[in-house]
Amino acid sequence: MKKLFQLVLTFFTSLTIMSQTASDTKLVVSIVVDQMRADYLTRYSHLYEGGFKTLLEDGEVFWNAHHTHVPTYTAPGHASIYTGTDPRFHGIIGNNWYVPSIGKTTYCLEDLDVSPIGTSSKYAKRSPKNIHSTTWTDELEWASNKKSKIFAFSLKDRGAICAAGHYGDAAFWLGKSGFISSSHYMSSLPKWLINFNQKNSLESYMNGKWDYLIDKNNYPEIHSTAFERIPSGARKADFPYDLSLLFNADTSGIEAFKTTPKGNQILLDVALETLKKEKLGIHKNRFPDVLAISFSATDYIGHGTGIRSHETMDMYLRLDRQLDTLFEYLNKNIGKDNFIVILTADHGASDNPSQAKLDGMPVDWMAPADLESEFRELITAAGVPSEFILNFSNEQVYIQENDSLESIQKIVRNALLKHPAIAESWTKDEIREASEPFALMRKNGSDKRSGQVFYSLYPGSIAYYKTGTTHGSGYTYDTHVPIIFFGGIFHSPENHNERINVKDIAPTLSHILKIAQPSASNGKILPLKFN
């Protein structure tokens, strides 16, 4: 009886401590590093001396965190982080998806009913209208009666909007003339941001060289530019680069910038400016403010040069130092006990198959157009009229509605299985009834917007450019990402090895902040320890 009393007392004491410490939190900093594989934490750990080192030494690290959906792309990943559920329920099944009724592909956050803010570009006609669930930031806005300030930044609209949710104060992403938004969030840019854009032009960042941050001998010896795509504005993929030459030769006016560490630097700079001008974390409210940052340059360089490149490694070493600058500011101006940080990633990335093949791996690269052509030949040979096959995207096949659709799905599935690159294929009915892990991930990643037949390449093989790399599969290299909780209320350091899901972040934060979980949340509350 005495033991039982002690256990009950300990339980309620821990709840009290948690309640007290959580109420002291004035600011939540939510960081998503686009395309950050979990092993980037350990691969370069001996060279980290800034923010990543701090997180590893003083944070609660979950070493076995995974996304639970396919495809593993930026938009579904960010939406899952903030809604605490899968695309099956939040609705963002890809960065793009095919719409049979209009016969074309649509962008996940496109909203023709909103207006561009800070630009005239139609690419700012974006909103969260396709996100079916609330986010934890939405729930915080409701709980705080809009007293919590929620600002989200990314180089990509999908990285910012999924974080700000439906009710956040602002989502900003990068255009050619600086950070922009849409009328979903505001009628005009804040004056301080207009000034920031004027003083911090993209060109002003692109001076000098992007050179090795530390001694070149620390970088991988096994490294070949033959498997790297030439960056925008460059003549060849040969690190280091002259930044001004990249910028001046880039006809897009922005792609070269986003592919360098300067893309992350401008995000850091605007985050610090937001903290100062909006006084985030400086208040006496019960609920915290939120600063959400999606560091996107890591994804752009990863796609271009792959996971083994000197550019990718250098990008992470520099991000380590950039995070350190952010944490130093928070410690000094918010107070080390008054903020918490959550760091994760929207997906990982595959090795370049051509490079892996030289190492003896049984993998291959395929051009997407060639793969689709070969699929169509197999399907036509199986007796399905070519006009019935509408689209191939997101490792799905869209088939025209007809009286024989159920049998045609099976024919298409079996035809795809004859292709040597295909490991498995399923009909939509099989996906709906799925319990097998890889099929279940497709169930989690699909809704009525999806196609009728799903397929998976063999692990390590990709349909992409021959150089660089991509992501999207349900294999570990794409699903396994870091999750770290850091800040005054968390026990430090703490390492967790149990397998968890990225969608567990939102319900965990909701629990910590004493707010409702997002409307479609089906993640679990993580076993964090508190000071």
The catalytic residue among 21, 74, 83, 137 is 74
Calpha distance 425→449 (Å, rounded): 18
Segment 317-334 mean pLDDT: 98
The rounded percent of the chain whose pLDDT value lies above 70 is 95
Closest CA to 207 of 231, 256, 242, 253: 242
Please tell me the predicted confidence (pLDDT) of residue 22.
56
Nearest-5° angle of CA 203, CA 151, CA 137?
145
Question: By the 8 A CB rule, do 527 and 496 touch?
Answer: yes
pLDDT in tens, 261-290: 999 999 999 999 999 999 999 999 999 999
Cis amide leading into 362 (omega within 30): no
User: Which domains occur in the chain, in start order?
Assistant: 24-352+478-513 (3.40.720.10), 364-458 (3.30.1360.150)
DSSP code, position 217: G
Please state whether beta strands 365-366 and 462-463 pair in parallel, antiparallel, or not at all (unpaired).
parallel
Predicted confidence band at 529 (pLDDT cuts at 50, 70, 90)?
A: confident
62: β partners: 483, 496
Residue 74 annotated to the active site: yes
Q: What is the CA angle 394-396-397, rounded to 5?
A: 135
Three-point CA angle 420, 395, 111, nearest 5° = 160
pLDDT single digits (tens) 49-104: 999 999 999 999 999 999 999 999 999 999 999 999 999 999 999 999 999 999 99
* Average pLDDT of the segment spanning 372-385: 97
Using pLDDT thresholds of 50, 70 and 90, give the confidence band for residue 222: low
Q: Quick one: average pLDDT of 344-361?
A: 94
Mean pLDDT of 463-486: 97
Name, in order, each residue with C-beta under 8 angstroms of 86's C-beta and a sequence gap of 6 or more: 68, 69, 80, 444, 445, 503, 522
Query: What are the CA-CA distances from residue 76 to residues 69, 192, 274, 507 (Å)?
Result: 8, 31, 26, 17
Bridge partners, residue 463, by sequence: 366
Q: What is the pTM of this model?
A: 0.94
513 vs 485: CA distance, rounded Å: 14
Tell me 196's DSSP state. H
Q: Using alpha carbons, select from 188, 192, 142, 144 the residue that is nearest to residue 165.
A: 142
Locus of tokens 């109420």: 23
Looking at the chain, the whole-number percentage of residues with pLDDT higher than 90 is: 89
Which tens digits make up the pLDDT trace of 442-463?
A: 999 999 999 999 999 999 999 9
By the 10 Å C-beta count (0-12 exposed, 13-18 middle, 19+ buried), 424 is classed as middle
Q: What backbone torsions phi and psi does residue 417 show, to the nearest 5 degrees? A: -65, -15
3-class DSSP assignment, residue 354: helix
pLDDT tens across 10-44, in order?
444 344 334 434 558 999 999 999 999 999 999 99
- Note the pLDDT tens digit of each residue in 127-179: 999 999 999 999 999 999 999 999 999 999 999 999 999 999 999 999 999 99
Does position 303 have pLDDT exceeding 80, yes or no? yes
State the Cα–Cα distance between residues 303 and 258, nearest whole angstrom: 12
The answer to whether 150 and 289 have CB atoms below 8 angstroms apart is yes
Residue 481 and residue 67 in contact, taking contact as beta carbons nearer than 8 Å: yes
